[in-house]
Amino acid sequence: MASTQRRRVGLMTAGGDCPGLNAVIRAVVKSGIYQHDFEMIGIEDGFLGLIQNRMHVMSTDEVSNILTVGGTILGSSNKADPENHAVLENGRWVRRDVTEDVLAHCRQWNLDALIVIGGDGTMCGANHLIGRGLKIVGVPKTIDNDLEGTEVTFGHDTAVTIATEALDRVHTTASSHHRVMVVEIMGRYAGWLALRAGLASGSDVILIPEIPFDLDVVARMCQKRSTRGKRFTIIAAGEGAAPRGGDMVVDHRDEGSPDPIRLGGVAKLVAGEIEKRTGLESRSIVLGHVQRGGTPSPYDRILATTLAHHAVDLLAAGRFGELVVVRDGKISSLPIASIAGKVRKVPLDDPMIRAARGVDTCFGDT
Ligand code: F6P
């Protein structure tokens, strides 16, 4: 890429949005301009903006007053993939490699380097572009907390807080009506969100993708509680949880997306089966995108700002191809290539699982 007098740094938010993205944008733009005199270029709607050549010069004014605002002022998309981009042609989705368009647009905008904020899908795309010569530093985000290599991603803490509050609220209505309430929590193929919210809310049953559940075991737990005089049960169900020997419940396929599977429906399945097996009145609730919206928690604002600042420092030092991570509680970095395409699941011996079992929380396995 050609270089100009001031180094030009592109910035994008890609994949599903999450609280804290604006905090990263603010910190990257401010540190980039104030500390390094970079010219900051905002790429709109993630990889889609690179593919469609939609970018603009950013000023510190544009990022003023956004620290506490959810979503992303740059927009995002979880449908764009330079190597395997879905295009609707004559009513059919076809995949095209549009990498050359992306590289041409980067040259046209004289981008020296990019800061890419995203989750696992985004880091796969970033890794592909690194292989084609782009200089990229990654910042990890996702409410799912499932990005390999980092102990935590910003957005997760806020989502845990929202899901916990929902479970707390469900508690009182479940208790009034003596019902089993099954609350479906996002997280895709990893159970971090359901596990943390379930533990924080004292849910009686926590179902996560890492531990296949047996409906008879879950039903027995509800019955046991009922017999003991506890006339309600709260079940926190990760959307990727699946019955033993069965499959995850898919709501629909989004063929325009690199990962077309959209999970959904496990809470309804569990509530229906529990009612059938126990006679206890059961209801299901899907929290959905509420978990991704609204103002980031203070923890996420701090994490987002710290990760962003480190990413700008790496870029200024010419440390390209790295993802900023949290390891052993400290900010560091590792090669994007080493984590691309990997999902970080909850280990079965995680202290949170052990602690939950210790207070008689049922995971549906025993
Ligand atoms: O990865 C974040 C996430 O919210 C998952 O928890 C969820 O399965 C998925 O995105 C939903 O995707 P969409 O926004 O396309 O419905």
Each residue's pLDDT tens digit, 186-234 = 999 999 999 999 999 999 999 999 999 999 999 999 999 999 999 999 9
Residue 358's identity, in one-letter code, is G
- The CATH architecture to which 8-154+295-338 belongs is 3-Layer(aba) Sandwich (3.40)
Under a CB-based contact definition with an 8 Å cutoff, are residues 301 and 69 in contact?
Answer: no
Q: Is 310 in the pocket of ligand 1 (CB under 6 A)?
A: no
- Enumerate residues 6+ apart whose C-beta is below 8 A from 128: 82, 83, 99
If you take atom 13 of ligand 1, which residue's CA is the nearest one?
A: 16
- Enumerate residues 6+ apart whose C-beta is below 8 A from 147: 119, 120, 123, 140, 153, 339, 344
Q: What is the pLDDT at residue 256?
A: 86
Please give the structure tokens belonging to residue 149: 């290599």
3 state SS of 77 = coil
If you take atom 8 of ligand 1, which residue's CA is the nearest one?
A: 188
Distance separating alpha carbons of residues 268 and 275, to the nearest angstrom:
11
State in Å: Cα 277 to ligand 1 middle.
Answer: 31
3 state SS of 266 = helix
Q: Is 79 in the pocket of ligand 1 (CB under 6 A)?
A: no
Q: What is the pLDDT at residue 52?
A: 97
Q: Is 143 in the pocket of ligand 1 (CB under 6 A)?
A: yes
Q: What is the pLDDT at residue 65?
A: 97
Q: Is 248 in the pocket of ligand 1 (CB under 6 A)?
A: no
Distance separating alpha carbons of residues 222 and 156, to the nearest angstrom:
29
Q: Where are the alpha helices (DSSP H) in 185-240?
A: 192-201, 215-227
State in Å: Cα 242 to ligand 1 middle.
Answer: 17
Pairing of strands 250-253, 205-207: unpaired
Under a CB-based contact definition with an 8 Å cutoff, are residues 146 and 156 in contact?
Answer: no
Under a CB-based contact definition with an 8 Å cutoff, are residues 342 and 193 in contact?
Answer: no
Distances in Å between the alpha carbon of 230 and those of 58, 182, 324? Answer: 57, 16, 46
Q: Is 198 in the pocket of ligand 1 (CB under 6 A)?
A: no
Distances in Å between the alpha carbon of 259 and those of 91, 252, 277, 303? Answer: 19, 12, 35, 27
Distance separating alpha carbons of residues 225 and 241, to the nearest angstrom:
22
Positions marked active-site: 144
- pLDDT < 50 regions, the chain: 2-3
Q: What is the pLDDT at residue 1?
A: 53
Please give the full DSSP string across 103-145, using - where no structure is assigned: HHHHHHTT--EEEEEE-HHHHHHHHHHHHTT--EEEEEB-TT-
Q: Where are the domains of the chain?
A: 8-154+295-338, 157-293+347-358
Residue linked to tokens 């989004």? 254
Distance separating alpha carbons of residues 83 and 273, to the nearest angstrom:
43
Ligand 1 atom closest to residue 186's alpha carbon, by position in its atom list: 6
Is-same-fold flag (8-154+295-338; 157-293+347-358)? yes
Per CATH, the number for 157-293+347-358 is 3.40.50.460
